[in-house]
């Protein structure tokens, strides 16, 4: 009986790991898209044209516009986020998109948006290497994730004894958690020093409604307007409290946090950067991230330390602004999906992957331009 139970556990874990590796992989079509667009950047002057046009540069810091920020190395996902936002807007001419990517993807990302206009919206594409502020001195977490031995061991599966293997190992092996792109949101006030209020979007969201009212929300002096994740009928996605993210047997956690405190979601956040600059949110984030024992205190990712850093700085917004969980389970109510302003495929089953849920994928694919030569020639999303 014991052997049988062990075999079942091993089988379930193997299935979990296979799904994780599928989720972490880059589909051939998306990889092809990046390579071809990078080549286009080197050979086509139009693909290298300045974004935005010189006469529009002052608008990048004009606070009368609605500024969206997106940090990603997935060109296809970025195109869906931007296209859906512009298509759903009642005043697209007031939209400014700031797309941040890494150095290896910069040329391809720039090519895509140079060749595929989002007019009347305005867009800029910047690589992390183009931000002078992003130095090791200002971003200690960068050095920590690159050189910390315990983190390296953790990401290779050699984590602390007693950890829940089935729960942490797949996440631990994911490269996204040691990507600077995943930590950039904590530096928005410094990266965009002239902006007062922005909406930050993850790359696995789709915008289905005009988001301009987000700029009119009174955050009551708070920094982060976010949907809370402890109030909802969905027990898997909308029942998350601090106890779901932190190890409360650790004294530092037990002495500083309340296990029943409501968690909130990254993915669509309204940030008041003006108020943020008056706080110590970034310093708090760094202090917890740099604790040598932090890997025993919370599940990997940027959300747990952010839950600590933004503690007392979050204003809850209506949950219909941001629907979570489309990448976790296939029982999602379609009518609820249709009503949500932003739908979020957080979880492993991304819509651009083979493991994406078929009935939820059309909400995403409707914003993929299949007639585009690069998309067509890379056979994207073809089965």
Per the domain annotation, does 20 fall within a domain?
Answer: no
How far is the C-alpha of 106 from the C-alpha of 129, rounded, in Å?
Answer: 9
**Does 19 map to a domain?**
no
- Tokens representing 73 are 């190395």
Q: Tell me if the pTM is above 0.85.
A: yes
Structure tokens at 305: 């330390």
Tell me how far apart the alpha carbons of residues 296 and 273 are, in angstroms, rounded to a whole number: 31
pLDDT at 154: 41
Q: Is residue 22 part of a domain?
A: no
The whole-chain average pLDDT of the chain stands at 86
Please check whether residue 3 lies inside any domain of the structure.
no
What pLDDT does 156 receive?
40
Residue 244 pLDDT class (50, 70, 90 cuts): very high
The 10s digit of each residue's pLDDT in 323-350 is: 999 998 766 789 999 999 999 999 999 9
Q: Is 5 part of a structural domain of the chain? A: no
Give me the percent of the chain exceeding a pLDDT of 70: 81
With bands split at pLDDT 50, 70 and 90, how would you rate the model's confidence at 317? Answer: very high
Helices (H), ranges, the chain: 2-24, 28-43, 75-88, 103-115, 140-147, 149-155, 165-172, 180-183, 188-191, 251-256, 273-276, 281-289, 303-309, 334-339, 362-365, 373-377
Rounded to whole angstroms, the Cα distance separating 139 from 186 reads 10
- 62 within a domain of the structure (yes/no): yes
Residues 298-316 as b/e (b if ≥16 CB within 10 A, e otherwise) read: bbbebbbbbbbbbeebbbb
**369: CATH:** 3.90.550.10
What's the rounded Cα separation, in Å, for the pair 168 and 177?
Answer: 12
Residue 168 confidence class, pLDDT cut points 50, 70, 90:
very low
Range of 317's domain?
27-377
Contact (CB, 8 A) for 134 and 192: no
Please check the confidence at residue 196 and state whether its pLDDT lies above 80.
yes
Highest mean pLDDT among 109-123, 144-158, 228-242: 109-123
| Domain count of the fold of the chain | 1
The answer as to whether 87 is a domain residue is yes
């Amino acid at each position: 009986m014991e052997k049988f139970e062990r075999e079942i556990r091993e089988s379930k874990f193997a299935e979990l790991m296979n799904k994780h590796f599928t989720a972490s992989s880059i589909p051939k079509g998306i990889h092809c898209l990046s390579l071809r667009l990078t080549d286009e950047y080197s050979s086509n002057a139009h693909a290298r044209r300045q974004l935005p046009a010189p006469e529009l540069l002052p608008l990048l810091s004009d606070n009368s516009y609605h500024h969206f920020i997106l940090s990603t190395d997935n060109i296809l996902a970025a195109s869906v986020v931007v296209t859906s936002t512009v298509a759903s807007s009642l005043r697209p001419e007031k939209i400014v998109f700031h797309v941040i990517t890494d150095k290896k993807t910069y040329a391809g990302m720039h090519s895509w948006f140079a060749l595929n206009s989002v007019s009347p919206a305005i867009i800029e594409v910047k690589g992390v290497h183009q931000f002078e502020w992003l130095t090791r001195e200002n971003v200690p977490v960068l050095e920590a994730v690159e050189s910390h031995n315990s983190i390296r061991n953790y990401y290779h599966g050699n984590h602390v004894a007693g950890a829940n293997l089935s729960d942490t190992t797949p996440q631990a092996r994911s490269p996204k958690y040691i990507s600077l792109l995943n930590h950039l949101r904590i530096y928005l006030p410094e990266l965009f020093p002239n902006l007062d209020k922005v909406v930050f979007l993850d790359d696995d969201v789709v915008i289905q409604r005009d988001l301009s009212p987000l700029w009119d929300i009174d955050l009551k002096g708070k920094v982060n307007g976010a949907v809370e994740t402890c109030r909802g009928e969905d027990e898997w996605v909308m029942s998350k409290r601090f106890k779901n993210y932190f190890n409360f047997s650790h004294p530092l956690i037990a002495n500083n946090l309340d296990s029943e405190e409501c968690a909130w979601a990254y993915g669509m956040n309204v940030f008041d950067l003006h108020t943020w600059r008056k706080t110590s949110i970034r310093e708090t984030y760094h202090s917890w991230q740099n604790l040598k024992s932090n890997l025993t205190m919370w599940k990997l990712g940027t959300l747990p330390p952010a839950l600590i850093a933004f503690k007392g700085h979050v204003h809850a917004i209506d949950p219909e602004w941001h629907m979570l969980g489309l990448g976790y389970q296939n029982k999602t109510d379609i009518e609820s999906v249709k009503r949500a302003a932003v739908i979020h495929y957080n979880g492993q089953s991304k819509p651009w992957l083979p493991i994406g849920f078929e009935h939820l994928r059309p909400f995403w694919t409707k914003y993929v331009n299949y007639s585009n030569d690069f998309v067509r020639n890379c056979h994207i999303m073809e089965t």
